[in-house]
Structure 1
Amino acid sequence: MSDLQTSIDQRTYSDNIPHPRTPQEQNFFKEDPNLHYLLERYLPASMHEWARQQLSWLGAQVAGPIDERAAYTDREGKPRLRKYNRLGEDISEIITNEGYKETVAEVYGAGIVSYLYQEIPELGKKAPYSYSFFMGYLVSQSEPGFYCPVTLSMSAAYLIDRYGSEEQKEQYLTGLTSRDRNHFYEGATWLTERQGGSDVGANLTVAEPVAGRPGVYRLTGEKFFASNAGAFVATVLARIDEEKPGTKGLGLFLVPWIKPDNERNHIQVRRLKDKLGVNAVPSAEILLNGAEGYLIGEPQNGFKYMAEALNLSRICNAIASIGIMRRAFYEAKYYAEQRRAFGKPIDQYPMVIEMLVSLLLDTEVSTGAVFDMIAVYDRLQSDSASKEDNALARLLIPLLKYRTGEEAVESTHTAIEIHGGNGYIEEYVTPRLLRDAQVLTVWEGTSNILALDILRVMQKENSHEVFNRLLRERIAGWKHAFSQPYAELVRKELAILEENIAYLMKQTQDYLTYKLKALADHMVDLYTLSCIVSEAEDQVTREGNARKYILAKLYAVKHFHSQEKRGIQADSLLDVQFFTQLVEYQSVSAEEWAQQSAIVPTR
């Protein structure tokens, strides 16, 4: 029987089925030329060499040991709850496996949170958010479930740093921003309640002041979907004024598992959620049974503070999405170039080429758009930030969170289809990517909630006017001849967008909200196109490489051009013609693209 199996293996696996790559063969940073480009585009020049070294180390870790640990955690090593000790006392201890703990120590130790608040020793300055998000993009390619706790720790640190007292910063921010595996704290943000869900104003958890202890409250209630439930410290919304309905009566509190007097706080874990994906993060139903909480900032501003942290979490959600999209493309490309069917590798068939280029297109253009949005968010951290920057960020963040969440789901589906039946088998990473991606359309606001937030910032801050000005200024700066057709397209589409907004604002609330997602789609299409064309102009100007103009053309056709006769008689098959240059990130000369596009390559 063993001889028969050996014979079958030799005949079937030798040429037809891709052999798994060893971790030592992979580095998610080194194998991503677009990430190298974005690093140089968005990080200060003084950080480039240091960042390349750090991200190269992380790229090897996430492709190797972190990925192996993620697979184990997902299938065999999920977090578990030890509810009671041997005396029957409720200890609500959440236990994670040793490999997961090592991932936690490595990634926090690399400064994913710390360097936002502490100087990088080699550089003598803090990192911008874009650097932390480059790290998150790599981590999410292997373990988006762990990137959720990172997100929550970042959010907790943000809230304490911005609005906490000096005592709170000393007590908790120091731990949240530590790189020492023996002294760092993880954080969490607990909002969701059973009766409220996205309607945070319906929350019922109450906070009662403790007599004689200013700023100290007893919190009583339930948090129904509390992720990173075992975190040392959580930021929690609770109703501080029952006379004020909705979000106006909510205060923000810092709730540690262990109080400053070293006694355990009155927090109970009822159960861990049995989730579809992101199994690394323990999500739980939490009972606050008179838990001691410490007021953060002004009592009437709790929801306002948390909304700021929510913007940060939504960026992280977009980062997780593009990370999953990148991994889906990476796996599909490798499989397609190795898998042989009907006598040749399947990546030589036009239908497979179309699927692979579609994966690449969504991944690369959305990644560029996300980091362009992050550049706006980074500006908000400086003293020179303007009201326009704030309005723009509050519009772009939900737009990109919405789009990338949807694309992550679609990308993982496509990657599975390229793998065929093997893509549906749990020994491959593709099922885990598919399951992990599903939550990205739900976390930090569903598409409907995001659309309502977009409407709110348009009505309150006229963010759409800032958006329109940004795009008009951007296209006015495009000088290369290759960019001009897209400048004209954006001008035309902006006029349509402005007309549609004016029309919708006169309609009934039902009609307006019904059309909101269509409006959001138009806006994010325009923004993303402007980003990829800006990248294309930059790259062709500096390097003579017109490759990104091919992506711009494919994106414009996909999102803006209604093709006559369904495109069947008119498609030039750009993806097939330039397949190798696109997926291998090879240069396309300006002259070659000029011949294809019939545009003279002059400036």
Structure 2
Amino acid sequence: MEHQSYAYGKNHWALEPDLPSLLNRYWKGWTAHQSELERFGALAGGVAYRIADHVDKEARPVLVMHDLNGQRIDRVRLSPAQEALNRELAAMNRAPYQGGSWHLHFALGYLLADPGLYCIQTITNATLYAIHKYAPQFARWKEELLAGRAFGATWMTEVQGGSDLGANQVRAVPEGAVWRLWGDKYFSSGAGLTDYAIVSARPEGAPAGPKGIALFLVPRLDSQGQLNYRVRRLKDKLATRAVPSGEVEFAGAEAHLIGRAEEGIYYILETLTLSRLANAAGAMGLARKAQLEALFRVQARRAFGKKLEEHPLIRRDLTDLAVRIAGGLALTFRAVAAWDEAWQETPPYSPRYHYARLLAHLAKARTAEHGTYCTQLGMELFGGVGFVEDFAIARLAREALITPIWEGPANVQALDTLEVLFRKGAAEPFLAEFGAKLEAIQSEEARLALARLRHTLDYLQTLSPEEAQWHAKEALRTLADAATVALLYELGSERHARLAALYARHFLAQEEYPAWAMQEEALWRVGLEPTSAA
């Protein structure tokens, strides 16, 4: 790996210029966990980075359908290195359920960033979440998941519906103390690895549409110790090869109802919100890794008589990377803070919960765009070899392609954004928070962001529902960008104020970055000073 990556072997926490400021802003007790972040930063830039590349190129999960005696087991065979790493990474999920903060989980997810390795932990986390809140009678299974002795999954997608949960057709039939599931799940991450999955299904007699969907907990083995469902096959994927994903068939699978059947769709949306935050953290983590690879590359290579880093065009691209990553990370951790305050609410929810949903949608959609762009730009800064699989940067760009699609593409995020803005009343607190933040900043860029924010909200309210959908994706982007400007300014450092101004000029005024940034190495260099609590 050391011959394929500039970032490998470096502590990714020690190089981090933005995350400490964000943790200091939103999580006052974070310094007590600094040694844990340092250890994990070494893991993320070392063993985990190497194993992720090894799995991607040489050791993809393989489905083993039968044991030595010819019995169906439908289990995946993993690289022994990945098996050990999966168990070690399970500690990422403990903080929220053992008196800690969601900030720690998402900070670790950002540092890890690999979508395959992190996905295994996020789908396990969603299973933990459902048991913790709505099925405490399965606490024993929760402890197995927390200890890394078992893994979870979220199986919602069906081939005829995709993101439309209301089109789900898997049936749930009660049978004594349990339920039986019948049907297929088309794209099931963790297939063959999972021990306990949360699965959407429609109870017999339930109404059509999403409100007829309930949520069930389905173990790999039934109460008699027999295989409870079958994995038909694994999917071939462009990226995220570390997490096995496949088609799962239920033919009378034993299942346990989670909570109340009529509230199932709300439980599912909670776990989706949690997964969308993980998607945002992962997208920005991939962007940071691409930035590290590119930055060390341009410092090491020479062209036209000087280091690549010294050329204005290269510095412009390094500035773009720094602005996008700082902005996306700020938006992500504001959304995490809102989730941390609201996650223990149950239906019917308060306005605080719907506001957390809004911020999660904005963060997920915008960071996915930044993440894919940053990894592509990092690949371009490598030149021709950036497209060669020999080097880590090519894998990062492939991995980033999944972030705009997983947990709902931009179209779904836009629809949900419209719902929470106007049907759930989140527009008013959004304008109140970010309007006040921007009004307090005496800068032309802050006034620009405030004007765009107000205009976008006002304009959306003048449109019919159909017209609002037509404009929703661009509106989501604008609201996310205006909020990002405010959040960067709020961090209080001169560096972040400059990044905020650059972000506003480029994304809200649609201007090229001003040339003064060419000489501001502190904006786009990383690791210039030791990481500390700013």
> Which TM bucket (shorter chain)?
over 0.9
Amino acid at match of 1:555: Y
Q: Does 1:424 align with 2:387?
A: yes
- Partner residue in 2 for 1:550: 498
- Partner residue in 2 for 1:134: 107
Q: 1:303 to 1:572 in 2, by over 3 A?
A: closer
Aligned-partner SS, 1:135: helix
Residues 550-600 of structure 1: CA deviation (Å, up to 9, x unaligned): 21121111022255xxx6xxx74022021355424769xxxxxxxxxxxxx
Q: Counterparts of 1:512 and 1:474 in 2: how far apart (Å)?
A: 26
Q: 1:73 to 1:306 in 2, by over 3 A?
A: same
- Partner residue in 2 for 1:32: 16
- Partner residue in 2 for 1:294: 256
Deviation at 1:260, TM superposition (A): 4.1
Residues 236-279 of structure 1: CA deviation (Å, up to 9, x unaligned): 11110345111222211110012344x12321011000000000
Q: How does 1:386-397 map to 2 (within 5 A)?
A: 387-397=350-360
Q: 1:351 to 1:299 in 2, by over 3 A?
A: same
Deviation at 1:470, TM superposition (A): 1.0
Q: Counterparts of 1:136 and 1:312 in 2: how far apart (Å)?
A: 12
Aligned-partner SS, 2:259: coil
Contact 1:217 1:293 in 2 (8 A): yes
Contact 1:241 1:250 in 2 (8 A): no
- Partner residue in 2 for 1:199: 164
Aligned-partner SS, 1:27: coil
Aligned-partner SS, 2:251: strand
Q: 1:511 to 1:130 in 2, by over 3 A?
A: same
Q: Does 1:473 align with 2:473?
A: no
Deviation at 1:74, TM superposition (A): 0.3
Q: Counterparts of 2:63 and 2:510 in 1: how far apart (Å)?
A: 54
Aligned-partner SS, 1:112: helix
Match of residue 42, structure 1, among 16, 23, 26: 26
Deviation at 1:299, TM superposition (A): 1.4
Contact 1:547 1:582 in 2 (8 A): no
Aligned-partner SS, 1:275: coil
Match of residue 271, structure 2, among 309, 312, 330: 309
Q: Counterparts of 2:182 and 2:203 in 1: how far apart (Å)?
A: 11
Aligned-partner SS, 1:30: coil
Percent of residue pairs bearing the same amino acid type? 30
Q: Counterparts of 2:378 and 2:449 in 1: how far apart (Å)?
A: 31
Contact 2:4 2:391 in 1 (8 A): no
Q: Counterparts of 1:258 and 1:87 in 2: how far apart (Å)?
A: 17
Deviation at 1:194, TM superposition (A): 1.0
Q: Counterparts of 1:336 and 1:407 in 2: how far apart (Å)?
A: 21
- Partner residue in 2 for 1:177: 146
Q: Counterparts of 2:104 and 2:451 in 1: how far apart (Å)?
A: 35
With normalisation by structure 2, the TM-score equals 0.94
Structure 1 unaligned blocks of 5 or more: 1-17, 119-125, 540-545, 588-603
Amino acid at match of 1:239: R
Contact 2:15 2:527 in 1 (8 A): no
Amino acid at match of 1:37: S
Contact 1:547 1:586 in 2 (8 A): no
Amino acid at match of 1:43: W
Q: Does 1:502 align with 2:444?
A: no
Match of residue 360, structure 1, among 293, 301, 322: 322
Deviation at 1:498, TM superposition (A): 3.2
Q: 1:516 to 1:104 in 2, by over 3 A?
A: same
- Partner residue in 2 for 1:160: 131
Structure of larger gyration radius = 1
Residues 386-407 of structure 1: CA deviation (Å, up to 9, x unaligned): 9332121111111110011111
Residues 70-128 of structure 1: CA deviation (Å, up to 9, x unaligned): 111001100010123355432212111111112112211xx21122212xxxxxxx211
Q: Counterparts of 2:510 and 2:215 in 1: how far apart (Å)?
A: 49
Q: Counterparts of 1:84 and 1:386 in 2: how far apart (Å)?
A: 46
Amino acid at match of 1:103: L
Q: How does 1:158-557 map to 2 (within 5 A)?
A: 158-164=129-135, 166-169=136-139, 171-178=140-147, 181=148, 184-210=149-175, 213-214=176-177, 216-229=178-191, 230-261=193-224, 263-381=225-343, 387-478=350-441, 483-504=442-463, 507=464, 509-535=465-491, 538-539=492-493, 546-557=494-505
Residues 135-184 of structure 1: CA deviation (Å, up to 9, x unaligned): 101111xx2211011111111111111111x4222x31122222xx5xx3
Q: 1:415 to 1:117 in 2, by over 3 A?
A: same
Residues 38-89 of structure 1: CA deviation (Å, up to 9, x unaligned): 23222223x41x3110011111111111111111100110001012335543
Match of residue 115, structure 1, among 95, 116, 119: 95
Match of residue 59, structure 1, among 41, 52, 57: 41
Q: 1:297 to 1:323 in 2, by over 3 A?
A: same
Deviation at 1:187, TM superposition (A): 0.7
Q: 1:239 to 1:387 in 2, by over 3 A?
A: closer
Residues 411-447 of structure 1: CA deviation (Å, up to 9, x unaligned): 1110111001111111211111111111111111011
Amino acid at match of 2:468: L
Contact 2:231 2:249 in 1 (8 A): yes
Q: Does 1:578 align with 2:524?
A: no
Q: Counterparts of 2:100 and 2:405 in 1: how far apart (Å)?
A: 29
Q: Counterparts of 1:476 and 1:217 in 2: how far apart (Å)?
A: 55
Q: Counterparts of 1:244 and 1:20 in 2: how far apart (Å)?
A: 53
Amino acid at match of 2:521: F
Deviation at 1:287, TM superposition (A): 0.5
In the comparison of the two structures, how many residue pairs are matched?
525
Q: 1:23 to 1:515 in 2, by over 3 A?
A: closer
RMSD: 2.1
Q: Counterparts of 1:410 and 1:476 in 2: how far apart (Å)?
A: 30
Contact 1:152 1:189 in 2 (8 A): yes
Deviation at 1:31, TM superposition (A): 1.1
Q: 1:423 to 1:208 in 2, by over 3 A?
A: same
Amino acid at match of 2:47: P
Deviation at 1:533, TM superposition (A): 1.1
Q: Counterparts of 1:225 and 1:584 in 2: how far apart (Å)?
A: 38
Q: 1:71 to 1:572 in 2, by over 3 A?
A: closer
Amino acid at match of 2:13: F
Amino acid at match of 1:434: A
Amino acid at match of 2:155: W
Q: Counterparts of 2:239 and 2:184 in 1: how far apart (Å)?
A: 23
Contact 1:391 1:466 in 2 (8 A): no
Structure 2 unaligned blocks of 5 or more: 530-534
Q: 1:491 to 1:115 in 2, by over 3 A?
A: closer
Q: Relative CO higher for 1 or 2, CA cutoff 8 Å, sep ≥ 6?
A: 2
- Partner residue in 2 for 1:12: none
